[in-house]
Amino acid sequence: MDKNNKNINRTNKLCPKTKRLAGYCVGFLPPCKAAKRSNALCLASFDNEAGRQKNKQEVKAFSFSGMNKTIATVLYIALILCSVLVSTNSTVPIAFGQIETEIPAGHGNTQYNTYALSSAAVSNAAVFDVAVSDVAVSDVADTAFSNAIASDTAASNPADRAPSNEGEPSITGMFVVPDLVAPGDTAGKIAWGQAHWSEALSKLKAVGMDKVVIQYSAQYWSSASKFSYYPETAFAPFNGNQPGYQRQQISYALAAAKENNMKVHMGLQLSEDLWFTNMAAGFSDLSFLTASAQFSVDLAQDLWALYSGQYADTIAGWYIPFELNNREVGADAAQTMISHYFAPVADYLKTMTPNKPIMISPFIISGLTETPAQEELDVWRSMCAELWKNTRLDIIAVQDGCGWEWNTKETLAPWYQALADAKDEAGPIRAAKGWSEAIIWNNAESYSMNGVNPMPTKRLIENINAVKGYVSDTVSFSLHYFLPLEDANACGLDSDNQKYYDAYHYVYEHGSAFTLSSPIPAITGGQAVVTGYFDVTLEWDPIASSQVEMPVAGYVVKRKLLTEPDMGAIKIAEVSQPDSGQVVFTDCQLDSGTAYEYLTYPFDATGNRSPAPGWIKSKCSLMAGR
């Protein structure tokens, strides 16, 4: 799942600002799951936003496997030619829009050269860029968007809404990660209490959602090391290393769901590292699967005994957090996984709670911009068909991979069609066994690994609409990149969530995204400073809310060689709008003696973007030599 688990050694399925990004690159970064893909190349950019006192590492994995051979050859030659750039000896200016500075010659960095040149091949495909809106210029009230939201909130009645159309969002629920809302180390923030949960679910309900998926109710590292997120029982005794507030999270969630007339899909245990390690080994160690199955059965029994008296109707079904994918589970491994884990666990859950559906959420590893090969689709179809034919799992809620950037909306349909074919193949067999019908859900990722974390609303909806015809429901990973709370110190939420929630709320009420009457203006007040021979720090004035109809959420920063046309610029970062002060971004590990130009475009949470970068000149002095 979706914003730090999806690669071979992903740490915890949380996206950019959380555990999910840790360990995702090669060379000067820790090894990553993507790096284990055939002929894979990991690319990294570093962005240091002094205005927000944060140092963020954003990573992108790109593979030559499955690529057109001609393109792959060109990229390979381009990588070799990178080293030539290091030898330049002239001092030339770096321009930011029209902001110029100079960087001393003779200080190259081969590792960064590989990224700078290679990333152009990825970014030039424009798969990550928010499309520029074509808007007319006219005078508008600064408060148009906020007034529209306030009016709609007062008049909203979800029961009276018209049937969904192509522009409307259709997310009916979101995933919640217990260790994010109540981490062991809160770092000065506030772990969620009952009031936080009640407010969170009330706000999800206000935009048409009726359920939450608790990703897990326990974490298991070994028989001697495990955490539970519900009150102490004989099966789950108190762990002295675990903060007490973590043991209340499931209880808080269920109470909030019942209060808001919503449903909970209850996650079982997460054993992230153990699962991915054993999956990579083809599940050759059967003891892991059998022990995991027994733990899942005992955990489900414990949860049902504890909560069924008060929340039997609130608990809508079960979620098994263990993830699988189309590349790391071969045919033999799939049968082993099914017979020793998924089948016995599902059988027990259906015996204990016959009418509660069981859900899993596998993910697709794809070539991002490449149309999937039929062989890949057949592997995916076969794996899902075998799961449905041989276990009592009901729902496959496939992760769309658009936030993690395995896929784009243009490449999704073949994968979902293959899943629909698997459902058709399994249908007669399930019916003959007296099992319930197989169900396809979409798990749309609401974060953006290549951006400022939350995904722009237009892009999220486009991803959902691309597969709407194949699924019966859509949930999303996760509320951590979507939901705002009144308590700004509450754990596990992105600081920009209010803007993205408001943008989605507008779409929910109107059936289409907010349309600007005048374009977002270009940035002003820009300047550039060379720091440390290889780095350039850019600063500019933020676009104030009074200048726009919808608040600016961030800025796309593109870089190109000074001699290149604008269309040659590659996207290197998205920078969040700061709470105060100037916007600051540092571009690191540049080639000395090379002239660059930076183009910066403000954008809002809907996905509208300024049609042009700022045009401001500022000359900076050279750094002293070593």
pLDDT-derived band at 371 (thresholds 50, 70, 90) equals confident
Select the more confidently predicted residue: 75 or 573. 573
Predicted confidence at residue 616, as pLDDT, reads 33
Under 8 Å between Cβ of 299 and 248: no
Residue 535, pLDDT > 90, answer no
For the chain, what percent of residues have pLDDT higher than 70?
Answer: 70
In DSSP terms, 555 is beta-bridged to 575, 602
Q: Are strands 596-604 and 552-561 parallel, antiparallel or unpaired?
A: antiparallel
Predicted confidence at residue 238, as pLDDT, reads 86
Question: In this structure, what are the phi and psi dihedrals at residue 495, rounded to the nearest 5 degrees?
Answer: -65, -20
Under 8 Å between Cβ of 18 and 447: no
pLDDT digit string (tens) for 150-202?
444 333 333 332 333 345 668 999 999 999 999 999 999 999 999 999 999 99
Question: Residue 525 burial (CB < 10 Å; 0-12/13-18/19+)?
Answer: middle
Residue 306, pLDDT > 50, answer yes
Residue 19, pLDDT > 50, answer no
**In angstroms, what is the C-alpha Rg of the chain?**
25
Residue 20, pLDDT > 50, answer no
Has residue 471 been placed in a domain? yes
Which of 506, 522, 509, 538 is CA-nearest to residue 605? Answer: 506
Overall average pLDDT of the 497-522 stretch: 93
Amino acid 160 reads D
Strand, helix or coil for residue 433? helix
Range of the domain at 194: 169-510
Question: Residue 167 burial (CB < 10 Å; 0-12/13-18/19+)?
Answer: middle
Provide the CATH number for the domain around residue 233.
3.20.20.80
pLDDT-derived band at 614 (thresholds 50, 70, 90) equals low
Predicted confidence at residue 63, as pLDDT, reads 34
pLDDT-derived band at 484 (thresholds 50, 70, 90) equals very high
Residue 415, pLDDT > 70, answer yes
For the chain, what percent of residues have pLDDT higher than 90?
Answer: 55
Q: CA-to-CA distance for 82 and 116, rounded, in angstroms?
A: 9
| Residue pointed to by tokens 């003696």 | 593
Residue 204, pLDDT > 60, answer yes
Predicted confidence at residue 527, as pLDDT, reads 83
Question: In this structure, what are the phi and psi dihedrals at residue 138, rounded to the nearest 5 degrees?
Answer: -160, 165
pLDDT-derived band at 147 (thresholds 50, 70, 90) equals very low
Overall average pLDDT of the 572-596 stretch: 87
Has residue 253 been placed in a domain? yes
pTM of the predicted model, to two decimals? 0.75
pLDDT-derived band at 622 (thresholds 50, 70, 90) equals very low
Q: What is the largest CA-CA distance in the chain?
A: 79
Q: CA-to-CA distance for 197 and 219, rounded, in angstroms?
A: 21
Residue 613, pLDDT > 80, answer no
Residue 373, pLDDT > 70, answer yes
pLDDT digit string (tens) for 226-282?
999 999 999 999 888 899 999 999 999 999 999 999 999 999 999 989 999 999 999
Select the more confidently predicted residue: 223 or 308. 308
Has residue 126 been placed in a domain? no
Average the pLDDT over each of 154-163, 167-176, 416-425, 550-559 and give the range with the smallest value.
154-163
Select the more confidently predicted residue: 587 or 126. 587
Angle at 207 between CA 205 and CA 210, to 5 degrees: 35
Predicted confidence at residue 162, as pLDDT, reads 30
Overall average pLDDT of the 561-565 stretch: 83
What is the count of structural domains for the chain? 1
Overall average pLDDT of the 337-348 stretch: 97
Average the pLDDT over each of 68-72, 219-223, 471-475, 508-512 and give the range with the smallest value.
68-72
Has residue 608 been placed in a domain? no
Q: What is the dihedral of CA 140, 145, 151, 154, to 10 degrees?
A: -170
Average the pLDDT over each of 41-50, 139-148, 508-517 and give the range with the smallest value.
41-50
Overall average pLDDT of the 403-407 stretch: 87
Has residue 3 been placed in a domain? no
pLDDT-derived band at 451 (thresholds 50, 70, 90) equals low
Q: Are strands 225-228 and 218-222 parallel, antiparallel or unpaired?
A: antiparallel
In DSSP terms, 93 is beta-bridged to 102
Has residue 617 been placed in a domain? no
Has residue 209 been placed in a domain? yes
Predicted confidence at residue 169, as pLDDT, reads 61
Which residues contact residue 272 at a Cβ distance below 8 angstroms, ignoring those fewer than 6 apart? 5, 10, 11, 12, 13, 219
Predicted confidence at residue 164, as pLDDT, reads 38
Amino acid 145 reads F
Overall average pLDDT of the 610-616 stretch: 65
Predicted confidence at residue 148, as pLDDT, reads 44
Predicted confidence at residue 85, as pLDDT, reads 36
Q: CA-to-CA distance for 21 and 215, rounded, in angstroms?
A: 18
Select the more confidently predicted residue: 31 or 284. 284
Residue 128, pLDDT > 80, answer no
Residue 440, pLDDT > 80, answer yes
Angle at 325 between CA 319 and CA 329, to 5 degrees: 110
Question: In this structure, what are the phi and psi dihedrals at residue 618, rounded to the nearest 5 degrees?
Answer: -160, 120
Most confident of 110-114, 340-344, 491-495: 340-344
Q: CA-to-CA distance for 444 and 461, rounded, in angstroms?
A: 9
Predicted confidence at residue 80, as pLDDT, reads 39
pLDDT digit string (tens) for 318-336?
999 999 988 888 778 899 9
51-55 long-range contacts, Cβ below 8 Å, gap at least 24?
51/578, 51/580, 51/581, 51/582, 51/583, 51/584, 52/576, 52/578, 52/579, 52/584
Has residue 397 been placed in a domain? yes
Select the more confidently predicted residue: 70 or 223. 223
Select the more confidently predicted residue: 148 or 523. 523
Overall average pLDDT of the 212-228 stretch: 93
Q: CA-to-CA distance for 344 and 337, rounded, in angstroms?
A: 10
Overall average pLDDT of the 195-221 stretch: 97
Measuring CA to CA, how many Å separate 12 from each of 8, 23, 251, 273?
11, 10, 23, 9
